[in-house]
Amino acid sequence: MIEITQVTNKKQLKQFVNFPFKLYKGCPYWVPPLVKDEMETLDQTKNPVFKNAEADYYLAYKNGAIAGRIAVIVNHLEINKIGKKKVRFGWFDVVDDIAVTQALLEKVYEKGRALNLEYAEGPVGFSNMEKAGILVDGYEEMNTMITWYHFPYYKEHFKQLGFEPQATWVEFKLEIPPSIKEKVAKFSRIIRERYGLSVIRFKNKKEILPYVDAMFGLLNETYNTLQTFVPIQQYQIDYYKEKYFTFIQPDYITCIKDKNGKLIAFSIVMPSFTKALKKANGSLFPLGWYHLWQAQRKNDRAAFYLIGIDPEYQGKGVTAIIFEEMQHLFNSKGIDKVETNPELEENTAVQVLWKDYNPVMHKKRSTFKKDL
């Protein structure tokens, strides 16, 4: 017998957050999040995204044991201002029992129909700034700090229940050569001179703060034509600034300004925290903080998290400047492997950036959609 219970208190929310630790126990590829961060993200009194969104969390029980979880999400900004009449779902994890999956998804349908919405899509977060997509390829690869891991049966459950793939993201592994390629350095120099561009370098985190809002502004401009895009609000910028600032290292950020001092492009790279988070197993204590600190100090891997380019400068070679800066950074840090963040499959403008670094597409993930 399957029973679906709504999460209504902190104890149940902790069970909701901890369920994947049981489900993926022993899986070498699942990288756990930090429990404290997950609790705060899902807490409607702490996460400002709930100014324009609402969510209900559910646990599925089978024979008295937790067998699945799901968050049913409504983003009012997406519905009312963008006109996408969809109910979202995320934080979806389940045992290999399609009946449990179906029972959890019924809660999504109920919410969507009650609000006269047209379709359900997931897994996604509250906005573009959270994780998205079921892993559909690359099951023998570890997830990163900003992605979920799933077993192969997830996508089969969705297909059997009448869902179809909607948005699809791809991820790449890149090889970093021991020295800068001459054509990259030459092209970078030409682009700087042609457009009067210069690189902003940061000595400490305090120097970064005045540019953060402009970076998010560029993200809005860079990705506003993509199918999954919902504009990032100022309160979200403030929240994510605070949430992720401790992970940021000044020399891993590249910012480019024009001759008038306006920010026209940026990229954020981080040392890979994948193995450190695996060792931390959801907690900073007693030794989780040490593993994360070590990952920042000494690492041969990095992860490409964000890149934004003013539309006026897209296609004009500005990325050559970014790659020259990153190349010097990687070589100085002993980094020879980089993993990209998920990029929408149709976003070929970004994918072409990797062509000189022996890219290998090693993971793919999709959201799934069903009409209501």
Q: CATH number of the domain at 313, please.
A: 3.40.630.30
Q: How far is CA 136 from CA 150, 159, 160, 251, in A?
A: 8, 12, 15, 34
Distance CA 132, CA 138 (A): 15
Say if 345 falls within a structural domain. yes
Helices 182-195 and 318-333, interaxial angle, to 10°? 130
Give 129's contacts (C-beta < 8 A, 6+ positions apart). Answer: 232, 236, 240
Same structural domain, 15 and 155: yes
Say if 369 falls within a structural domain. no
What pLDDT is stored for residue 308 in this prediction? 86
Say if 48 falls within a structural domain. yes
Distance CA 159, CA 370 (A): 10
What pLDDT is stored for residue 56 in this prediction? 98
Answer with the one of 146, 171, 196 that is the final residue of a domain: 171
- What is the phi/psi pair of residue 308, to 5°? -140, 135
Say if 105 falls within a structural domain. yes
Say if 231 falls within a structural domain. yes
Answer with the one of 138, 171, 204 that is the final residue of a domain: 171
Helix (H, G, I), strand (E, B) or coil at 72: strand
Identify the top-confidence range among 156-160, 246-250, 303-307: 156-160
Give 366's contacts (C-beta < 8 A, 6+ positions apart). Answer: 133, 134, 136, 155, 165, 166, 167, 168, 169
Same structural domain, 149 and 203: no
Quickly list H helices, 224-346: 234-244, 274-280, 288-297, 318-333
Distance CA 351, CA 329 (A): 21
Same structural domain, 202 and 163: no
0.85 surpassed by pTM: yes
What pLDDT is stored for residue 181 in this prediction? 81
Band (pLDDT 50/70/90 cuts) for residue 22 is very high
Least confident among 5-14, 66-75, 183-192, 236-245: 236-245
Say if 215 falls within a structural domain. yes
Number of domains in the chain: 2
Same structural domain, 12 and 95: yes
Least confident among 102-116, 172-186, 224-238, 243-257: 224-238
Say if 368 falls within a structural domain. no
Same structural domain, 189 and 323: yes
What pLDDT is stored for residue 226 in this prediction? 59
Residue 298 has pLDDT above 80, yes or no: yes
pLDDT tens sequence across 164-214:
999 999 999 999 999 888 888 899 999 999 999 999 999 888 888 888 888
Distance CA 35, CA 234 (A): 26
Both tokens of 60, joined, read 């599925």
Q: How far is CA 21 from CA 1, 122, 136, 207, in A?
A: 23, 21, 21, 38
Say if 139 falls within a structural domain. yes
Domain range enclosing 128: 2-171
Answer with the one of 150, 171, 192 that is the final residue of a domain: 171
Residue 228 has pLDDT above 80, yes or no: no
Residue of higher predicted confidence among 179 and 73:
73
User: Residue 369 belongs to what H/E stretch?
Assistant: strand 360-371
Residue 223 has pLDDT above 80, yes or no: no
Q: How far is CA 372 from CA 92, 105, 106, 136, 148, in A?
A: 19, 12, 11, 24, 26
Same structural domain, 206 and 274: yes
Same structural domain, 153 and 283: no
Same structural domain, 145 and 226: no
Bridge partners, residue 78, by sequence: none
Same structural domain, 74 and 219: no
Same structural domain, 141 and 252: no
Helix (H, G, I), strand (E, B) or coil at 196: coil
What pLDDT is stored for residue 143 in this prediction? 96
Same structural domain, 167 and 18: yes
pLDDT tens sequence across 339-357:
998 988 887 777 877 888 8
Same structural domain, 317 and 349: yes
Residue 277 has pLDDT above 90, yes or no: yes
Query: Cβ(98)–Cβ(157) under 8 Å?
Result: yes
Distance CA 119, CA 186 (A): 50
Query: Cβ(74)–Cβ(65) under 8 Å?
Result: no
Residue of higher predicted confidence among 289 and 348:
289
